[in-house]
Structure 1
Amino acid sequence: MSENKNARLIRVNSIRWPRFFLLFLAVAIGVTANGFQGILVPVSAGDFGMNHLAVSMMSSAFYLGYFIGTLLAVRLVTRVGHIRSYAVLASIVSGASLAFVLTQSETMWIFFRLLCGACFAGMVVIVESWINAATSKELRAKTLAIYNIVVLVSWASSQWLLTATPSNGLTPFVVVSILFSMALVPVALSRADGPVSANEVRLNIRRIFAISPAGIIGIGVLGAIVASTWGVLPIWAAGVGFDTGSISLLFSTSLVMAILIQWPLGYLSDRMPRSTVVIASFSLASLLTLLATMMPPNDLIFAILTVGLSAGLVLPCYSILVAMANDNAEQDEVIALSSSLVLVYGVGAILGPLITGTVYSYLGESALFVSISLLLGFGVVSIQTLKLMEPSVLILEKSHFVAVPATSQGILPLHENGDAVTTQSSCKDSGNITY
């Protein structure tokens, strides 16, 4: 039996790029659908006159569902296999996307966003673990880089779908449903073998904090900021009079800025303390967010230069914070640590919209920007303070910056210190690692 497994692993290692092009296509379609739904729901909810706090809870519900789906996806795959699991999840999220138009109940919309988050997370885990199985060690870094580009470009492109359809009708939700359904086709047609196993390995919270207290707090704050930006700011943008074209331009420009800024920041983080780069980015983003409180009415350029550039500066910090934490980790802890940080990011993303949404509901738009700025300031102070608790890392001892998307644990083995193929193995019990 073991010989057959080894033979299968050799075939998986030898697989070539065209064989899993379809998996990248599935990622692109799925991320486009999810990105479109992410900006469509708050804008449509605003058009329907829903409470701002309830709309913020929809964003938190999505990330809560994402958190749950990430944890449960492996169990589903173990029961019914990769393609069947993906088909089930894609069908559910496609149906849930249409269910939004059946009711204007805030409670039901919160539930639908939670359901969509859980199903989309499962889809991501399945495809990412599949891509791992289809990647040899020689192609690991290149595959991760391409995957990251596919995610960011698809996310940026999805924002423009808002301009192609009316935000308050049936059509945009039908488009989302169609895209989620189409994301199933490449997976069903793929000839790539799924991973032999998708066992999830994480460090417990005490060990994570011991490795990098600054990293864990920074990741949590970052999750809160990103979720607030895409969950609450669309409500503000629609409320102050921006049309759908302007909202699409604002958020797509933010993502393009993030793509362009990511590599310069990564280059700097390899040549100076990573915490300094993150603190500088957070500080500048905080200042820009404060400037947004003085925004003239319907001034799109001012919004892009403040809100958009702020988001563009913050998004790349995820990979830098992961690298910062990895600098202090043992070689065999790198992937488990990165996997755990994905979950910490999710916790921050759940709490962030609740905080900023509450502030926006009761204190208004200026207080919204102040609250986001204060969250960034909290991140700066926390990282600066907690970094003193960590051992200093020499430049020559640092691992290289690797751009890692904040999607799920499934893609993390493609990291330069990870295993390209997830294999079934018996692991020794450890006080620090949970299975």
Structure 2
Amino acid sequence: MLQVISSSWALLLGMMLLMVGNGLQGTLLGVRGDIEGFSTFEMSIVMSAYFLGFLGGSRLTPGLIRRVGHVRVFAAMASFISAVLVLYATWANPWFWVVMRVIVGFCFSGVYVTAESWLNNAATNDTRGKALSLYMIVQMVGIVAAQGLLLTADPSGFMLFIIPSVLVSISFAPILLSISPTPAFESSRPMSLKELYMLSPLGCVGMFLLGGIFSAQFGMSAVYGAEVGLSLGQISLFVSAFYIGATLMQYPLGWFSDRMDRRVLIFAVSALGAAGALLAMFGGGSFQVLLAAAFIIGGTSNPLYSLLIAYTNDFIDLDDMAAVSGGLVFINGLGAISGPVITGWSMGIFGPPGYFLFIGMMLAISAVYAAWRMTQRAAPAVDETSGYTPVTMSTSAVAVELAIEEGAEDTEQGSESN
């Protein structure tokens, strides 16, 4: 672990600052939108725009990197992010925010692709798993820390927009000054979505559903908090609970994942998350119940992402790893675009409980589909399955490919030891 920190500390520090900036802007916009009188539907479009930009960036950034190089792409994306984070406060108009969110989503996607390429280059076969674990931890720490910064200034003013802009600007200094050499970026054989679905139906369907769940958490949790009248401090704790649960539950669920039929675990975890959403729908009048529900939902939905990657990895060839990772992230992105919009529609019809209704339905569908898939294909032997590697839904296809490679490496080592 110390070896990973010594070789990648600048990258990890920079990514944590980036996640503070990104986590703060997501929550802040939800609070500021309520102050400005934006409707729930308008805010759902604003939040969805980030994921539209993110999906576009994940498709176009590799070409930009091959054309002009990592450093130039990284610096250009950084400039745009820093500028947009300040521009939000100059014009409180939902459609202007939509355009800004598309831009910032595109740029953050490009930053993640570039940074994760450097992480891959800095890691070895022996340290890849530890590097990914540290990467996930610093991301979660950054998002949770961002919620604390929400309490440092008045959300109706400019300061909370300036803080993430400054943090993002600072974050690139240690990365650009310390990371070398520039990693190579190779193209991979594309795989159609039909091919990917035939390879792992549960992986594809689960990834699509999780995209909607994650975007609802990341984009609409603060909107929900403002709708039900939570204070700024309560909104901060509520949003943090999702990510604290996600961090704490990754490793216990990963331990179970490597020792049983993953479809059974996917079913159980999805059902538990759906129960958490049901708890919030009927007990949401209590803030303590809301925190417990957020912890359960975050602690189940986020590890599901890693579970589905590991499950899909059980059925792929080594030559297909890059193509599969890109396809899974694309499917997840499609679901993420629709998540805030459907959540906003649900809240418009059913009121604030519609937020948890959408999340609960997505998790319930995931549980039912996992149960059905258990009747369609035999499970691979546990000792022949890939290893579980924790990764978050805010990463690019590069980190997903790293997780798949790490899982394949674990499988190979297990076969050699038998």
Q: Please indicate, yes or no, whether the TM-score normalized by the shorter chain is above 0.5.
A: yes
Matched ranges for 1:310-349 at <5 A: 310-349=297-336
- Paired position in structure 2 for 1:303: 290
Cα deviation 1:7-35 (Å, max 9, x = unaligned)? xxxxxxxx985343211121111111111
**Counterpart amino acid of residue 254 in structure 1:** F
- Paired position in structure 1 for 2:49: 61
- Paired position in structure 1 for 2:375: 388
- Paired position in structure 1 for 2:238: 250
Residues 1:37 and 2:25 aligned together: yes
**Counterpart amino acid of residue 346 in structure 1:** G
Of 85, 91, 104 in structure 1, the residue corresponding to residue 92 of structure 2 is 104
Matched ranges for 1:84-95 at <5 A: 84-95=72-83
- Paired position in structure 1 for 2:356: 369
* Distance of 1:254 and 1:296 partners within structure 2: 15
- Paired position in structure 2 for 1:378: 365
Question: What is the aligned-residue RMSD (CA, Å)?
Answer: 2.0
Matched ranges for 1:52-201 at <5 A: 52-201=40-189
* Distance of 1:412 and 1:308 partners within structure 2: 24
* Distance of 1:281 and 1:206 partners within structure 2: 27
Count the aligned residue pairs: 405
TM-score normalised to the size of structure 2?
A: 0.92
More deviation, 243-252/189-198: 189-198
Larger helix proportion, structure 1 or 2?
2
* Distance of 2:4 and 2:301 partners within structure 1: 35
Q: Is the 8 A contact 1:214 1:387 kept in 2?
A: no
Change (3 A) 1:416 1:78: closer
Residues 1:291 and 2:243 aligned together: no
Q: Is the 8 A contact 1:413 1:419 kept in 2?
A: no
SS of the aligned residue for 1:255 comes to helix
Cα deviation 1:247-297 (Å, max 9, x = unaligned)? 111121221122111111111111111111121111121122122122354
More deviation, 387-396/225-234: 387-396
- Paired position in structure 2 for 1:235: 223
Change (3 A) 1:217 1:179: same
**Counterpart amino acid of residue 311 in structure 2:** M
**Counterpart amino acid of residue 366 in structure 2:** G
Residues 1:415 and 2:367 aligned together: no
- Calculate percent identity across the aligned residue pairs: 30
More deviation, 45-54/324-333: 324-333
More deviation, 132-141/118-127: 132-141
Change (3 A) 1:286 1:185: same
Of 386, 393, 410 in structure 2, the residue corresponding to residue 399 of structure 1 is 386
How many Å apart are 1:65 and its aligned residue?
A: 0.3
- Paired position in structure 1 for 2:191: 203
Q: Is the 8 A contact 1:250 1:304 kept in 2?
A: yes
Q: Is the 8 A contact 2:227 2:352 kept in 1?
A: no
- Paired position in structure 1 for 2:415: none
Q: Is the 8 A contact 1:214 1:384 kept in 2?
A: no
**Counterpart amino acid of residue 253 in structure 2:** L
More deviation, 198-207/20-29: 198-207
Q: Is the 8 A contact 1:201 1:339 kept in 2?
A: no
* Distance of 1:396 and 1:81 partners within structure 2: 41
Change (3 A) 1:387 1:215: farther
How many Å apart are 1:413 and its aligned residue?
A: 4.4
* Distance of 1:75 and 1:96 partners within structure 2: 23
**Counterpart amino acid of residue 384 in structure 2:** E
Cα deviation 1:298-351 (Å, max 9, x = unaligned)? x32111112332222211110011101111222332343233211111111111
TM-score normalised to the size of structure 1?
A: 0.88
**Counterpart amino acid of residue 152 in structure 1:** M
Task: Show structure 2 runs of 5+ residues with no match.
Answer: 409-418
How many Å apart are 1:201 and its aligned residue?
A: 4.7
Change (3 A) 1:202 1:249: farther
**Counterpart amino acid of residue 111 in structure 2:** M
Q: Is the 8 A contact 1:270 1:400 kept in 2?
A: yes
